[in-house]
Structure 1
Amino acid sequence: VIKDVLVEVYEQIEQRHESVALPGIPTGFYDLDAMTCGLHGGDLIILASRPTHGTTALALNIAQNVTEINKLPVAFFSLQHSRVELVQRMLSSEVEIESSYLKTGRVSDAQWEILSKGIDSLSERKFNIFDSEKFRIKRIQEQAEKMSARGGVIIIDNLDKIHDLASASAYTIKSTLKKLKQIAQDYNVPIILISNVNESVDRRKNNRPRLADLKRCDSIENIADLVMILYRESVTSESDSNVAEIAIVKQRNGCTGTVKLLFDHQFVSFKNLTTNTN
């Protein structure tokens, strides 16, 4: 009966009031966490953008924060980048040494010590990267099952590599999204799925993407719990702004709106624009 449910809801609100912790898993980005209350188990989360705006970089930064701050495991399924490439990008962001220096080996004596400490720090974290051009739903399910007891986050990069969205049927896309949502629910883990925005947005005067600009928008809108679209003005104009916007265009249990982050071009990483007020 509703009376019993109301008692449960009241107790949850009371617990949250007394606790400084977020209900969900913090991403490490304060304004984003303030609007979403963190990443919630059972949620299918879409992170979308046009190419080169930095969804992979943002996803890696979230993974770094989850493994470092929360000490929780992350499983990162990459269908377009190798493990070596992704770890090199993470290391560059972690130690703030340009990736080009790591690629060429042009590292100074002082940087070697910093690099060594960064490697030690990253090696202690519970971060698994699976790089394969073939999408295996069973492997995602296996990782979710391992996380079910203590929590964790699954990231998949990206939907367009799972299927050719230009030719795949709406049924095929919807079926995949439903399977991922079911895994998130069954094992109470958040799944972040990276996706692309239609190129038609580039031809608009106002080229900030909207929910309707997502490829296979209907399926995503119906199934996803949270949809975030990343946009950097410096990519689409001559602006030298280092501010990035995350438009929360759908949130099943919360409000929509826009939060801003700082984009560090040198290390291809995102940082907080504001300080933590908690």
Structure 2
Amino acid sequence: MKKLGIFKYEYVGERAIQSGFTELDKITFGWKKGELIVIGGRPAMGKTALAISLVRNIAILNRTPIAYFSLEMSTVQFMNRFLSNVSNVEINHAELYSEKEQALLDDAEKIIEDAPIFLDDTPALSIQELRTKASRLVREHQVKLIIIDYLQLMNTSGMSYSNREEEVSVITRSLKALAMELNIPIIAFSQLNRGKESREGIEGKRPQLSDLRESRTIEQDADMICFIHRPEYYKIYQDEKENDLHGMAEIIVAKNRNGKTGNTLLKFSSQFARFDNIADNIIH
């Protein structure tokens, strides 16, 4: 009993990584060491924007070292979005900025350069490559969180499987094992199936666990599963609590092995690839 009590104290008292989104952190109590967190969303829901916003909140505002594996975007593409996110200046490729906008971009660049962010844009990253790189980053740079954008672009490097679901099963199981081995949380973003597109009504458009692509294995291996849902995308502009949903995104915590589930709203600014906490007049 004494030994169990010590473990309980250490678990409850450990420092979880906060997302920086107040209402979301009230649901999750942060991301704990050894957890695999999967965040799913359909195209155009803002998966990469949320990933970048998490990097801003955790690495820039809280100074927590992060490793970000960008399988979909190059370093240049990532930096353009990240600069926009941090500066609140829309990146235009004509590079015609006002003096104020240019100053904001210059300041954002300095802030990003000074932040403990380690970016890797290796395409089609294998689980073996990830393990090698992540282990080195944790050992040499004390990285406390890994973000992968996104799960379905990973592979197992030369190993053959009867179907893609079997390969994803190996990937998710390996990610969970890596999180436990390195004793840090790993966040993997994930695509969703198109099944919910045909469902009707407000509730019908909300993602479900079964919408995860190769869902059976992901649902089993992940400690926490969250979804990004933008009702405005489906021309739904008000929820059942009469909240105005223009420019809003719902973050749904659909599974939480070590805590509670629930949902909350965040402000979404697509032009800045940015998620933010919202005003206090929103009804939760």
Aligned partner (choices 196, 201, 211) of residue 196 of structure 2: 201
Distance in structure 2 (CA, Å) of the matches to 1:105 and 1:35:
41
Taking only aligned residues, the RMSD between alpha carbons, in angstroms, comes to 2.1
- Encode CA deviations 1:126-155: one digit per residue, 9 max, x unaligned: 212211222132332234323268442111
TM normalised by structure 1 equals: 0.88
Instruction: Report the secondary structure of 2:30's partner residue.
Output: coil
Distance in structure 2 (CA, Å) of the matches to 1:160 and 1:10:
37
> Is residue 249 from structure 1 mapped to residue 254 from structure 2 by the alignment?
yes
Aligned partner (choices 246, 263, 269) of residue 268 of structure 2: 263
Alignment-mate amino acid for residue 251 of structure 1: N
Alignment-mate amino acid for residue 26 of structure 1: Q
Residues 254-263 or 234-243, more deviating: 234-243
> Is residue 31 from structure 1 mapped to residue 23 from structure 2 by the alignment?
yes
Instruction: Report the secondary structure of 2:272's partner residue.
Output: coil
Alignment-mate amino acid for residue 214 of structure 1: L
Contact 2:28 2:261 in 1 (8 A): no
Alignment-mate amino acid for residue 2 of structure 2: K
TM normalised by structure 2 equals: 0.86
What is the 5 A alignment of 1:60-79? 60-79=52-71
Pair 1:133–1:265, CA change in 2 (3 A): closer
How many residue pairs get aligned? The number is 263
Distance in structure 2 (CA, Å) of the matches to 1:180 and 1:10:
27
Residues 126-135 or 116-125, more deviating: 126-135
Pair 1:208–1:217, CA change in 2 (3 A): same
How far is the alpha carbon of 1:169 from its aligned partner? 3.5
Aligned partner (choices 144, 147, 161) of residue 138 of structure 2: 147
The equivalent residue for 1:115 is 105
- Identical columns (%): 30
Instruction: Report the secondary structure of 2:205's partner residue.
Output: coil
The equivalent residue for 2:150 is 158
How far is the alpha carbon of 1:23 from its aligned partner? 3.0
- Encode CA deviations 1:183-242: one digit per residue, 9 max, x unaligned: 100011111111111101111102111111111211011100010010001112264711
Pair 1:246–1:144, CA change in 2 (3 A): same
Distance in structure 2 (CA, Å) of the matches to 1:117 and 1:204:
45
How far is the alpha carbon of 1:124 from its aligned partner? 0.4
Distance in structure 2 (CA, Å) of the matches to 1:37 and 1:50:
25
Distance in structure 1 (CA, Å) of the matches to 2:64 and 2:272:
24
How far is the alpha carbon of 1:10 from its aligned partner? 4.2
Instruction: Report the secondary structure of 1:241's partner residue.
Output: coil
